[in-house]
Amino acid sequence: MTKRDFTISTEAVHAGTLSKRPHHTLSMSVAQTATFTFDDTADLRRYMSGEDPDPEREEYGRYGNPTVRELERRVAHLERGDDAVAYSTGMAAITTVLLTLLKAGDHVVTFQDCYRRTRQLITQTLANFGIEHTVIPSGDLEALERAIRPTTKLVFGESPTNPYLFCTDLRRMAELVKRHGRIRTVVDATFATPVNCRPIELGIDLVIHSATKYLSGHNDVLGGLVVGPDHLVSLLRETRHVVGNVLDPHAAWLIARGLKTLGLRVTRQNATALAVARTLEQHSRIRRVFYPGLESHPSHAVAREQMNGGGGVVSFIVEGDKEAAARVVDGSRLGRIAPSFGGVETLIEQPCNMSYFEFSAEELDRIGIDPALIRLSVGIEETSDVVADIVAALAY
């Protein structure tokens, strides 16, 4: 199957899969092994010299695994990239990209609204290794132009962002960065999924997914993937060989199984999230709603241009204080209080009580996290039930 034979939902089921499997199985097998064998010394020498007739044969589990390799091919197909490399977690994927493409003295530009650990990695961990950074307002491409220096090697962003769901004009960003020479663009597209947006088609170099979220879709496995051109993915794979943050083959199998329903799940979640967002926008107890599918969102025009749906997460600020928001969270019967998003179950959380629990009011204000902010990740439950549940929770 070529990359563009069918729609993305059909490709999520079939693209990148093997047409013939050992023992004629329909489902992919789990190659649960740490090492691989050779018939004799001549067989080993053929492999080591690159003359092995099987181009995907492996030597050791840290260097690759056939189950993981099939998952990588499938996600590369979905994102329209040449290849992909899988990691043990989404943060392992992000960390490996930054460590591979940056060195002491380099400069990276990133956007303000992003996952807390990504911000910590760029502004604290990498700073310890002499890598400089500039943080700019989300989606502000004029600020990006001003931030670029002769030492800038990387622009890293999310689209949509976590938790306010800002969308960057990725085509304009890619064109702007390319005018400055050899600067790489990297986008964490976990919130978007390949169903809603494919950044590589818009000119972005590398796309990152926390496969823990929508790709697997069942809140039961950790994983991360990076998709891009062959020459960059080869560099990332070589770093993985050294660092060892490999994806477990059984985890790869779970993610691959989840991929088959990606189109169904995300289409349902798009519709439910939009219904929730429109309901909340009209509710008297809501101060503000953040959802790129709403005309009121600052990124709506960009999202309408480059996305097929607004995604399954709605963030909103309730009238009142931190405790008022907590009562809404506790009042939800359907939403489970938990971190993460993108699974089949609806999850609800208050960022100041979850990701930013130890932050002071001043620190929250500095990074733009309102104490009354709630993030709702809708699942695949009936849309009317999710809407009714959050409306009932607002009565508490």
Residue 20 appears among annotated catalytic residues: no
CB 226, CB 89: distance < 8 Å: no
Residue 370 appears among annotated catalytic residues: no
Chain centroid to Cα 226, Å, comes to 9
Residue 115 appears among annotated catalytic residues: yes
CB 144, CB 136: distance < 8 Å: yes
Residue 62 appears among annotated catalytic residues: yes
Chain centroid to Cα 235, Å, comes to 20
CB 126, CB 102: distance < 8 Å: yes
Angle, CA 284 vertex, CA 280 and CA 287 arms, to 5°: 70
Marked catalytic residue, from 188, 205, 370, 389: 188
Marked catalytic residue, from 83, 106, 113, 115: 115
Instruction: Return the HEC string of 258-303.
Output: HHCCHHHHHHHHHHHHHHHHHHHHCCCCEEEEECCCCCCCCCHHHH
Q: Which residues of 15-28 are buried (b: 16+ CB within 10 A; e: fewer)?
A: bbbeeeeeeeeeeb
One-letter amino acid for residue 246 of the chain: V
Could you tell me the CA-to-CA distances from 18 to 65, 73, 84, 98 in Å, in that order? Answer: 15, 10, 16, 32
| C-alpha distance across the termini of the chain, in Å | 52
Marked catalytic residue, from 119, 213, 265, 375: 213
Active-site residues, by number, are 62, 115, 188, 213
